Amino acid sequence: MQLGLFSMPLHHPDRDYLTVLKEDQEAVILGDELGFAEAWIGEHFSTAPEGITSPFVFLASVIERTRNIRLGTGVINLPQQHPAIVAGLAAMFDQLSEGRLMFGIGPGGLPSDFELFKRTDAAERPKMMAESIDMILKIWGQDPPYEIKGDYWDITLKDAVWPALGVGRMAKPYQKPHPPIAASIMSPFSSSARRAAERGWIPISANFIPAGNVASHWQVYAETCARAGRPADPSIWRVARSILVTDSDARAEDYVNDPDGVFHFYFTYLLTLLKAGGALALFKTDPEMPDEAVTVEGAIAEMVIAGTPETVLDKLTAFRAAVGDFGTLLMTGHDWDDADLWRRSMALLATEVVPRMGDGGAGRATA
């Protein structure tokens, strides 16, 4: 098993913006030093807690400060940007990082961003995402002239093309034919898992969902692959979890259950957004569970794995047995209100937990 980092990120809105950006940089750099295989960074435009507006810009700031860790967009919300812009940015980043880009894409997930970009039609966003990635791949796969027409965008570049000067030619990625593409998956029995399997994309199961939902993702992915007549390789499956490794179970319990602490704010924030978006099903351990039974405390109990290395190892082993085999465990990045605690947690997870997880985890995670 490999180990990675998945960070939305999500910080308390009262914290200084530059300070948390530097902490997020430090987490990626530390992950590289500890042998984390990859780091995924989210994209949001209109919320203070999730303040990274461009994963490309943020991750470019750590290219020269890291050596091996692969750098993933987690995710670029394709309906919110022109495909040609995304194609150009992703290609340049892949060149600058010499092929370390992992290209995570999605339809968007933040109500305020939907309003900001006028993308409030939930049925349209997946269609826009599909059209956008197809256009991006066509841009990467050919030289000008470009004449790529769709329902939402029209990419035409044929008159102002001078091949001898390179004018009209768009940037291509370092990796051939293109960087690996990944999709974040949240809903139980998600259509996103089916789409990822159909397109050969990497599936990433979110951390803020119950184990049963996570298990359903691979079920859909594997069934879709079987219908296409090809095997589903669980080693490509990424699964994210909120994990805190401490020197004592009592320390972990006190920190996790602090009503004014990081985890309470994190799940209060998410629960509020899910209620507003009519998506409380993401938090439910049973689809028949009434909305009023969904609580922050219940979410923490179900979705946070915390304790000593031994306790966390036991809980992760049980979790993996419940959801099925997967190739990469993604530790969720949380607010570093206690930076030393979180640095030690990352170190203990990398050196004391993941190497002992059995099949595929006999050695330390490597990039």
How distant, in Å, are the alpha carbons of 158, 169, 334 from that of 81?
22, 20, 27
Q: How sure is the predictor about 367, in pLDDT bands with cuts at 50, 70 and 90?
A: very low
Per-residue confidence (pLDDT) for residue 42, from 0 to 100 = 98
Instruction: Tell me the average pLDDT of the chain.
Output: 96
Mean pLDDT computed over 171-188: 97
How distant, in Å, are the alpha carbons of 28, 177, 192, 196 from that of 135?
31, 14, 19, 17
Mean pLDDT computed over 97-111: 97
Per-residue confidence (pLDDT) for residue 358, from 0 to 100 = 72
Instruction: Let me know: does 232 contact 226? Beta carbons within 8 Å.
Output: yes
What's the start-to-end Cα distance of the chain, in Å? 11
Instruction: Let me know: does 225 contact 195? Beta carbons within 8 Å.
Output: no
- For the chain, give the percent of residues with pLDDT over 70: 98
Kindly list the domain boundaries of the chain, sorted by start residue. Answer: 2-250+305-356
Q: Is 89's pLDDT higher than 90?
A: yes
Q: C-alpha dihedral over 76, 70, 48, 16, to 10 degrees?
A: -160
CA 100 to chain centre: 16
pLDDT digits (tens, 9 = 90+) for 310-339: 999 999 999 999 999 999 999 999 999 999
Mean pLDDT computed over 244-249: 98
pLDDT digits (tens, 9 = 90+) for 153-166: 999 999 999 999 99
**2-250+305-356: CATH homologous superfamily?**
Luciferase-like domain (3.20.20.30)
pLDDT digits (tens, 9 = 90+) for 221-234: 999 999 999 999 99
pTM for the model = 0.95
- For the chain, give the percent of residues with pLDDT over 90: 96
**Bigger pLDDT: 208 vs 362:** 208
Strand partners, 5: 39, 331
Per-residue confidence (pLDDT) for residue 330, from 0 to 100 = 98
Q: Is 366's pLDDT higher than 50?
A: no
Mean pLDDT computed over 20-36: 98
pLDDT digits (tens, 9 = 90+) for 267-277: 999 999 999 98
Per-residue confidence (pLDDT) for residue 196, from 0 to 100 = 97
Q: Is 346's pLDDT higher than 60?
A: yes
Per-residue confidence (pLDDT) for residue 219, from 0 to 100 = 97
